[in-house]
Every structure is written in structure tokens, then in C-alpha cells.
Amino acid sequence: MNNLTPMFASATSLVGLDWLAIALYFAVLLGVAWWVIKSGKDTASDYFLAGRNLGWWVIGASIFASNIGSEHIVGLAGSGAKDGVALAHYELHAWCLLVLAWVFVPFYARSMVFTMPEFLEKRFCTKSRYVLSIVSLVTFIVSKIAVGIFAGGVVFGTLLPELQLNIGGHVIDSFWIGSISVIILTGLYTMLGGMRAVAYNDAVQVVVLIGGSLMLTIYGLVKLGGWHELRVLCGSDMFNLWKPLVPAGQIATWSPVIEKDMAGNIVKQAWYFNGNFPWLGMAICAPVIGLWYWCTDQYIVQRALGAPNERVARQGSIFAAFLKLFPVYLFIIPGLICYALAKSGKIPALTEAFNQPNGSQGAFPLLVQHMLPPGLRGIVVAGLLSALMGSLAGVFNACSTLFTVDIYEKLRPKASQHEIVRMGRIATGVMVVIAMAWIPVVKGAHGLYGYLQSIQGYLAPPVFVVFFFGVFWKRLNAKGCLWAMIIGFIVGLFRMLVDTPCTLDSNFHYREGTFFWIINNINFQYFSILITLISAGVMIGVSYLTAAPDAKQISGLTFATATAEDKAKTRASWGTLEVVGSVIVMICITFAYLYFRG
């Protein structure tokens, strides 16, 4: 982050009115947190699932706020400034939440589980529960927690570049001050209030996030000269969802990547690069990651598990799908606006920033600094910081739930409710410390959001396979599930380890043509597809080579084994409102794909 600080040094400083707005906003959040903490109970159900008593609007808002943390705001805006609307593919996967609502909510509601690994244990075996718990914790640490902390550092480094501490001759810059401060504040209210504090604070944050980002978009468009001017300055490629964006001079189709010298001679051809966002990868890998994340990830599904019944869980998931449509217009478009303003030269500070390495990463906070008036700027800054805190709080709570319920409680089945809650709080602190050590890897990544998607692309496929194949295919058994996860995760971790030296040191390169060089240069989406195919093949092959699962054990846990009573309860839990809401979401997604055609 040190290379980012100088380019933001001339940024507009926050004034007294901004600090007042920030103070008032956090006073409201602290008041909500205090009220929630005082009304809570010292039980596992209350701490981890808010007593299974969350309303549909709280569930939907919490799912959205947990997903859209500062890493999304900073990362999506940065991606918009660098690559245009390409990553909107991931945001338009709001339909995945409809899959959660209509396909998985009935199974989760019937099983009354606390965690996703616990559901896997009911469907398959205890060993699969342990494997998923451990891998989920690793995934949270290297992606969600570390990236969230890094995003907070980016925000502080942009908005308060002059903030420094001198300890024993060592200067600590605003990046680290911001990261550590947010960690401490978030950890405190998460450890004290649990899931209930996280969910209700999320509900408050959604209003500020959407409202503040909308104002930023409006101010930016006015300064730029309108939507037409934005499209002209950005060009058709940056507004094209259908044509994958690739580095200049490369071809993003099934054809090889072709690099030419100044004389026009071909100097390299290689199929494995194939663009930043190849269409085949976006068509297959992106839905796999999306379905894993929205339907099987503890971090998200834990909110639906906090519903009192199937109807409320479904309504909350559909509401979250509707909210999920906003990021394309409220975070990616501001990134495009920032790029256009920098290109036009209307704001010299933006032009200067974009001439620096990784300058696009600060697109959103840069716009906040230079576009918004005092007071409103403070509210948006508070929204940015609270978004980071909400996202981190959600993942902290998910981590502590996984460790405590799936590991600690298994090892100590006679532990009291108080001991379980205490261990959940301790687990939160440990996860934070471990994640801090991973920040240098995230700092070296070429793009915040791209790093997040690549890590998920390596670790998500085995989980996607065992959950989706598991509920749709009753013949698949525990051994098939276990080996699919083990082998799939080994392949994914192998790719992560191969990539890590290049991420930590931009000057490090594998010798061209070697095995590690080929692995490192295969597009992460293609490699994710490979892991998916390997996991699916292992699960099906091992399952059919071994005995079929016990019919009694899987009763109600697959579509084929759902009883008539189960089906009747599910049908009674939805009506016209849920169907209409789902149709509206799909219409909005279709409109976006039709509009963003370059």
C-alpha cells in the first residue's frame, strides 16, 4: 500500500462537518449494537443464529450488507475503472439467491442445522463435516477476512494519507492504522453481540450504503456531463458484458493469444492465457462460484438459518436477491465515472492518481474525496467503514460458529452453553490474528476483486459439487463426497501455492515453459472448471464403486427422498408475493445483459 499513499497525498481532507457526520452515524450503530447485546441471551442459538428469530427484511439486508463490504465497494469500483463492466457478471448472479430461496432453504429449514458442514454430516458423514469445516476456515482467512482488512487499509490510505504513527523510529502509515483500528472495533461488537448484533447493524448500514453510493453516482455524472459523455469517454468495450475484456493485442476467444512485436511479427501464441475474462470461464466458472457462495457458504447462509421458519427464510433470500442488483450501478459505474473523469482531465488529481501503479484501486474513495460536499462526504465515508465492519463482523461470526459448533462442540460434547459462547469469542480473536499475517499476499495481488474471485475459484468447486450433486442425486454416498472434497481441495491449494510467490513478489517469474509456469498462467477460471470436473468425476466414480447410502439416513435430505409431508409444508410456505418478487429479479438481470452490449 506504500505505493498508493503518495498519489493520494493531495486529496481533499475531511473537514469538521464530515467528522461530525461520521461520529453521529457510528453513535447510531453503537446504540443499535448496545440494545441488541442487552437483549440477547448467553446461549449458542442466540449468539450464532440470533435465536432463529430474524425477520425477512433483516435477513435480506444482512445478506446484502455482509456480501457488500468495503472490499466489494473498493474492488468493484477499481475493477470498473480498470476493466469496465466485466465483473458485473458476478454481481448479476443475484439469481443464485433465488436458488437458495427455492431449492436449498427447504432442506436447511427441515434439518435445523447451525452450519453447512453440519448439513453435510447429515447427508453424508462426520468426516465430510470436519473436512468442510477446516477448508471453510482456511477460505475465510485467506479471502474474506484478509481482503476485508486490506480494503479498510485502502480506504484509510486514500482518505487520510497524512495519518501516521511513529513508534520507536518505525513509521506506521494510515493503511495499517486503518486496518488494525477497524479490526479492533469490529471484533469487539462481534464478540459481544454475536449474530444478532451483526444482523441488525447490517440492516442500518444498507440504507447508508445504497443512499451514499447513489449520491456519489449522481454527483459524478453531473461533473462528467451526463451518461452519454461517460459512454463516449469509456468506449464500447468497457460497456460490454458479452465480449470479454483482454489485454491490448490479445484475442479472447477459442483462438490462441497472439502477441506481436512493433513490426507486426507474431512473437508468442498460447491458449492458456486467453484473456482476463474468457467467455467460457464466465459462462461456467462464475455460476459455480456464485452458487457455492450464495447457497452453501456459511458466511451467507447463516442469515437464512436465523429465520423462524421456511417462509421467512425464503422471503429474506428473495429480498437479498433484489438488493444484490444495486452494486452494478452503485459501485461499478462510479469506477467507470472515475476513469472517465481521469481521462478527460476535468479533475487533475484523478488523472495524476491513475498515472500511478494500481491507481484504479482507489477509484471509489477518490470520488468520495473529490465529488461530494462536506457532511455528505462524511456520511459516505462512515458507510464505507461500516460496510467493512459489517462484512468482517459477518465472517468473524461465521468463523466462530464453524470452529465452535463443528469442532469444539464435537470434542467437548458436554460443554455448557456459556462455554460454547466463550469459545466462539476466543475463536474470533484467533482468526483475526491469523488473517493479519496474510495481508502482504493480498497487497501484492494485481486487483483486489480479481484476487478474491481467483481464491474462491480454487476452493469453491468441491463444495459446489458435493452440495448440489448431493441434494439432486440420492445414489451419491459419503465416500464419494469425502474423496471429492479431499482431492478437489488439494488441487485448489496446489494452484494457490503456485501463485503465491508471484503474488508476493511482482519480480518473481517461473521459467517459461516449465510445469509451474504453465500452471501459473492458466486462466484462474479455466483452472476452476478443471477442479469442478475432477471433483465431480471423483464423487460419481467413488460413489458407484462403493455401497449406496442408507435410505433412512438421507430421508428428507434429497429431492428424491423428500416425504409427502415435507413437500406439502414447502408448498404451503410460499405464495404469489414470493413468485412475483423472483420474476422481477430475473427481469432486472435480463435487462442488464441486454443493455450492456457495448
Decide if 426 is inside a domain. yes
Q: Which residues pair with 269 in a beta bridge?
A: 258
Q: What is the pLDDT of residues 205-235, one digit of tens each?
A: 778 878 888 888 888 888 888 888 888 888 8
Q: Are strands 257-260 and 266-270 parallel, antiparallel or unpaired?
A: antiparallel
CA nearest to 496, candidates 531, 536, 467, 468: 531
DSSP 359: G
CA nearest to 349, candidates 374, 333, 369: 369
Angstrom distance (rounded) from CA 531 to CA 519: 13
pLDDT of the residue at 112: 83
Contact of 120 with 357, CB cutoff 8 Å: no
pLDDT of the residue at 358: 64
| Rg, the chain, Cα only | 24
pLDDT by 10s per residue, the chain, length 598 = 333 333 333 344 667 888 888 888 778 877 777 776 676 655 666 666 555 778 898 888 888 877 776 667 777 787 778 777 877 777 788 899 999 999 999 999 888 888 899 999 999 999 999 999 888 888 777 777 767 777 666 667 666 666 676 777 677 767 677 667 777 777 776 776 666 677 777 777 778 878 888 888 888 888 888 888 888 888 877 787 765 544 444 444 434 444 444 344 544 444 444 445 566 777 788 889 889 989 998 888 888 888 888 999 999 999 999 999 888 888 888 888 888 888 888 888 787 777 776 667 678 878 887 888 888 888 887 777 777 777 777 777 788 888 888 888 888 888 887 788 788 778 877 777 776 676 666 665 555 556 677 788 888 999 999 999 999 999 999 999 999 999 999 999 999 888 878 766 667 888 888 898 888 888 888 899 999 999 999 999 999 999 999 988 898 889 999 888 989 999 999 999 999 999 999 999 999 888 887 6
| Other CB atoms within 10 A of residue 538 CB | 21
Task: Classify residue 485 by burial, with Cβ atoms within 10 Å: 0-12, 13-18, 19+.
Answer: buried
Q: How far is CA 118 from the centre of its chain?
A: 22
Q: Which residues pair with 165 in a beta bridge?
A: 172
Angle subtended by helix axes 376-401 and 363-371, to nearest 10:
150
Which runs of E-coded beta strand occur in 10-106? none
Decide if 483 is inside a domain. yes
pLDDT of the residue at 317: 94
pLDDT of the residue at 69: 67
Residue with cell 510445469: 515
Q: Which residues pair with 129 in a beta bridge?
A: none
Decide if 48 is inside a domain. no
Q: Which residues pair with 266 in a beta bridge?
A: 260
Decide if 47 is inside a domain. no
Domain CATH number, residue 285: 1.20.1730.10
Decide if 61 is inside a domain. yes
Decide if 13 is inside a domain. yes
Q: What is the pLDDT of residues 334-349, one digit of tens each?
A: 888 888 888 888 888 7
Decide if 46 is inside a domain. no
Positive or negative: CA dihedral 342, 345, 346, 347: positive
Decide if 1 is inside a domain. no
Counted domains in the chain: 1
pLDDT of the residue at 100: 95
Please enumerate in sequence order all residues whose Cβ is within 8 A of that of 459, keeping only pairs 6 or more positions apart, or say none.
Answer: 135, 138, 139, 143, 489, 492, 493, 496
Q: Could you list the residue range(s) of the whole structural domain that residue 114 is in?
A: 6-41+54-595
- Residue 484 φ then ψ, to 5°: -60, -45
